[in-house]
Structure 1
């Protein structure tokens, strides 16, 4: 049976941020923590060893695969900061046009630093992602 690697843990979010090597990235992580907490209305929780997540939802795919995931989140990784928003939402792509300097992966949006992005668009992305996932998975 497939075992999810990224699960909610009891690890300290502050301790995790304090252990980020780069002082600038640590500062950006605290700024993101404030923005995500305030905008989402959820308390920050560690998901796996390196993702700071907010809220959670239970998903179940047609394949039968199911699990829990944070509604939104971020991770101050060594190379870039990963931001986790819902995928499959066309509004996300619209919002990203005005977001600032970023790249996208399959499920992540990557930024180098907070100074590169528009914080109002970040707040809109957080709100939109939560709204989208709550509509997709209403039983949560």
Structure 2
């Protein structure tokens, strides 16, 4: 009985040690593209620019506060990216548009897609370097 338990433990350790880890993409650089809040089949599109450098980000949007871009820090963990926005914001717009919290991250070459799925909307950044 001990041999089979020992074999099972070794087998599990072997399997878990052979799993591929997702490499962390190098986002450093400036990306331009679009932001869209998709709700009910559509949504306004804004031209945006995001710059990533050493764990810090800054951004601009063609439409003020759509989305709420300024600057802050970011952390990539696998296919997730978490933003912290360090700017002060006024109360005259929808704060859910501020780039902060966790998003899904898809990177393919120089193309980056950052997506946040909420119950009533989906925020999509489509950017290229």
What TM-score, normalized to structure 1? 0.28
Structure possessing the higher radius of gyration over alpha carbons: 2
- Which structure shows the higher helix fraction? 1
**When you count strand as a share of all residues, which structure comes out higher?**
2
Please, what TM-score do these two structures have when normalized by structure 2?
Answer: 0.30
